[in-house]
Structure 1
């Protein structure tokens, strides 16, 4: 029952100029993107992270570096190609204003499960390897650090949208309904019953409620252990919500 925080990289020079960067190397955060990454890192600084995993592309590694730099304890990010940007093939490096005129564009919008980019990857393949990666890492974090552990995956817009669609039980053809902005925070808790989507595409707000509750004595077990063994069923009516760590 670990909690995965999905962070999109901050804004890049390509984002700002309307270029589909794809897997182009050397695409880095611009000044706005660096500030966005810093703000997100500050938000996450109150949460003790068990791990940070990132796409190997520079813009994600820069964002991940800001996140680990704001942690109270030393943490080294690892890379995973499962979180890599979609391979857009021949579309890579092109202006979006040109690509919207391509015959494939309507299918990308309405039926992405049918799309394979010319000379590149299918959106189904992208979705499959990203979902496998996030679930694999989440299970590993829970096994090593316990059910209350929280970790971060830094990736790309379409990749995160595909992961969120899976967690919501949505067909990939509906994933364009989800918006993932640069440096935004999306939170998913995976359990044996189902994934729970706790937030999507947030830019601000206190995240201290993600900190594990401090151990308290009582009836032979700590409060934190009781929380970790709580049922994974959905609460009818919505429940009382998380308790801020400061409460």
Structure 2
């Protein structure tokens, strides 16, 4: 099973340098709408069987053009929604960097819990569980390998990638997930394989390798053949 971790397009909060979190009504800006439209050319040729998205508006808007082109009805899953930033929600990034918690988020995110919100360790747990559950569900439904999209948020994507890479959550600041980027993880019975991180090119199909027949090459790899805490707004 292969998941395309799609970060939503650039939002009005991104350009305003505020932490949107789960604020209602945060939409894509003009650039974000262009990015959403461009996803059709980037991904339409891929055999995508399902789209799962965060319940927030910016993710809904991001997948609309692609879902229409593919004839798919996106499924909403609260477990891949944005981090609950609690009292930090809606505040300016320039203010937040002065908070003592900011240093914890940068240096030891596994210990970070947002005031009146949730901890990043909990975010990773819920998001990874959701991705793996959808993988199993789609495998059972289709009886074969399936390519699917999870449209979510920067910090959520980075936490899933950290898990797939087998690295501690405290290292997830080393991962980028830009607006409208696609990161690709293939899950096998042996282990996850991270195929791409932060792909923003024109067409992803040229960058995807053919699914391996056994899950691994002879050397153990796959054969050839998506954020305020990461330095960008959410």
Say yes or no: TM over 0.5: yes
String of CA shifts for 1:42-99, please: whole Å, max 9, x gaps. 211001211000000000011111221232xx21001000100000000000000000
CA contact (8 A) 2:183 2:196 kept: yes
Matched, 1:101 2:98: yes
Taking the aligned partners of 2:189 and 2:223, their CA distance within structure 1 comes to 21
Q: CA deviation at 1:22?
A: 0.1
CA RMSD across the alignment: 2.0
Q: CA deviation at 1:143?
A: 1.5
Taking the aligned partners of 2:164 and 2:68, their CA distance within structure 1 comes to 29
| Cross-structure match for 2:6 | 7
Structure number with greater Rg is: 1
| Cross-structure match for 2:224 | 241
Taking the aligned partners of 1:147 and 1:197, their CA distance within structure 2 comes to 20
What pairs up with 1:131-170 in 2 under 5 angstroms?
Answer: 131-170=128-167
Distance 1:235 1:10, change over 3 A: farther
CA contact (8 A) 1:115 1:122 kept: yes
Q: CA deviation at 1:147?
A: 3.2
| Cross-structure match for 2:232 | none
| Cross-structure match for 2:230 | none
Taking the aligned partners of 1:15 and 1:210, their CA distance within structure 2 comes to 28
Aligned to 1:153, the other structure's residue is in SS state strand
Aligned to 1:70, the other structure's residue is in SS state helix
Question: For this pair of structures, how many residues does the alignment match?
Answer: 225
Normalised by the length of structure 1, the TM-score is 0.86
What pairs up with 1:53-132 in 2 under 5 angstroms?
Answer: 53-71=52-70, 74-132=71-129
Normalised by the length of structure 2, the TM-score is 0.91
Taking the aligned partners of 1:178 and 1:207, their CA distance within structure 2 comes to 19
CA contact (8 A) 1:165 1:172 kept: yes
Distance 1:235 1:184, change over 3 A: farther
Taking the aligned partners of 2:95 and 2:144, their CA distance within structure 1 comes to 47
| Cross-structure match for 2:27 | 28
Aligned to 1:132, the other structure's residue is in SS state helix
Moved over 4 A (4+): 209-213, 237-240
What pairs up with 1:136-215 in 2 under 5 angstroms?
Answer: 136-208=133-205
